[in-house]
Amino acid sequence: MGRYVIRRLLQMIPVFFGATLLIFLMVNVMGDPVAGLCGDRKCDPAVAAQLKKDFGLDQPVWQQYLTYLGNLFTGDFGRAFNGQKVTELMSTAFPVTFRLTLVAIVFEIVIGISLGVLTGLRRGRPIDTGFLLLTLIVISVPTFVTGLLLQLLLGVKWGWVKPAVSPAATFDELLLPGLVLASVSLAYVTRLTRTSVAENARADYVRTAVAKGLPRRRVISRHLLRNSLIPVVTFIGTDVGALMGGAIVTERIFNIHGVGYQLYQGIVRQSSQTVVGFVTILVLVYLVANLIVDLLYAVLDPRIRYA
């Protein structure tokens, strides 16, 4: 088990290099970032030359990449074009997005799994069909529509919540954005759990457990659910990465100054240091989340072992 974890951690190293190199190249293809810094006027050529020299943009791309990597290992993620350290941006953005993701995941787990169990146990009944239809609607409506609609209704028309989140982004402010962010995944979790539960409900071990005279609650929670959760855990695990990086739309709608917003700003302003830095961290988060998912399999199903 220990060796397995170490092997997986080692595998992250080539993935890390590959990902950073790819992103670095992609950001560089976008063109000359200094030109966008002076608004609708042309940058003074002498100033532009100095800026390029400062940011190392006058060197060939491979050299820029090596310098960047070198700095990275000393903990220096570079500076955005407004002079702010990228690490400084990260230290404000990641906690916010982390809280948002946490809210979203909790929604997914609590609501998604409960609904899944509920519908899975009542397969074919009206309640099952009803929720099936509901999830279909949620999946097919794009997030920005749900987001803007809920913002307008709850925030402006009815005044239940503040339409825009303050820079502090406390948990209670993040409830609505978290729900919007989670909505699509939540529907998927419901469907996955439902199918899995419905299938396992007819398995031999469940019938045995029922025949033994175990209380229904225990049959469902210990025997049925534990075995049905494997595909759901996989989905939620990979979703952590997707939620953290994919919150661009939700964060912009609800004025959340998190990772998605910083990435958007970085891309629009062609600040390669910001984009590469943030994406690198996101890649790491994704890898670690996947590792944890794989390890959780063994917890859920003792038959799975890693050596």
Partner 1 sequence: MRGARHAKWAAAAAAVALAATACGGGGSGGSSGEGVLSAWWGDPQNPLEPANTTEVQGGKVLDMVMRGLKRYNPKTGAAEDAVAEKIETTDAQNFTVKLKDWKFSNGEQVTAESFVNAWNYAANVKNKQKGAPFFGYIEGYDKVHPEKGDPTAETMSGLKVVDPKTFTVKLNQKFSTWPETLGYNAFAPLPKAFFDDRDAWLSKPVGNGPYTVDNYAKGSAMNLKKWEEYPGADKAQNNGVDLRVYTENTAAYNDLVAGNLDLLDDVPAAQIQNVKNDVNGRYASPAAGIIQTLAFPFYKPEWKTEGAAKVRKGISRAINRKQITESIFHNTRTPATDWTSPVLKEEGGYKAGLCGADCEYDAAEAKKLITEGGGIPGGQLKISYNADGGSHKDWVDAVCNSINNALGDNKACVGNPIGTFADFRSKVTKGEMDGPFRAGWQMDYPLIQNFLEPLYYTGSSSNDGQWSNKDFDKLMNEANAEVDTKKAVETYQKAEKVVADDMAAIPLWYQNGSVAYSDRVSNVALNPFSIPVYGEIKVN
CA distance 187 to 111: 9
Rounded to a whole number, what is the distance in angstroms from the first to the last CA of the chain? Answer: 5
Q: Which of 115, 253, 276, 279 binds partner 1 (CB under 8 A)?
A: 253
Cα separation, 95 vs 148, in Å, equals: 24
When binding is defined by CB under 8 A, the residue of 167, 172, 202, 213 that contacts partner 1 is 167
The residue from 42, 202, 212, 217 that contacts partner 1 (CB under 8 A) is 42
Residue with tokens 């990979």: 238
Site for partner 1, residues 263 to 292, rule: CB under 8 A: 264-265, 267-270, 281, 284-285, 288-289, 291-292
Residue 30 vs 133, nearer CB to partner 1: 30
Considering only residues 59, 227, 234, 255, which one is a binding residue for partner 1 as defined by CB under 8 A?
255
Regarding 51 and contact with partner 1 (CB under 8 A), the answer is: yes
* Residue with smaller CB distance to partner 1, 15 or 292: 292
Using only C-alpha atoms, the chain has a radius of gyration, in whole angstroms, of 24
Which residues, numbered 120-159, are part of the site for partner 1 (CB under 8 A)?
Answer: 148, 151-152, 155-156, 159
Site residues (CB under 8 A) for partner 1, limited to 90-109: 90-92, 94-96, 98
Using a 10 angstrom Cβ sphere, with 0-12 exposed, 13-18 middle and 19 or more buried, the burial of residue 91 is exposed
Question: Count residues contacting partner 1 (CB under 8 A)?
Answer: 78
Residues 63-92 that bind partner 1 (CB under 8 A): 81-84, 88-92
Candidates 25, 133, 164, 175; binder of partner 1 (CB under 8 A) is: 164
Region of 45-53, 106-114, 118-126, 186-194 interacting with partner 1 (CB under 8 A): 45-53
Q: Could you tell me which of 296, 238, 279 has the C-alpha nearest to residue 5? A: 296
Per DSSP, the residues of 199-241 read HHTTSHHHHHHHHTT--HHHIIIIIIIHHH-HHHHHHHHHHHH
Which residue, 2 or 60, is less far from partner 1 as judged by CB?
A: 2
DSSP 35: G
- For 45, 103, 206, 237, the CA distances from 241, given in Å and listed in that order, are 42, 14, 34, 8
The residue among 106 and 134 lying less far from partner 1, judged by its C-beta, is 106
Q: How far is the CB of 180 from partner 1 (least distance, A)?
A: 13
CA distance 114 to 125: 16
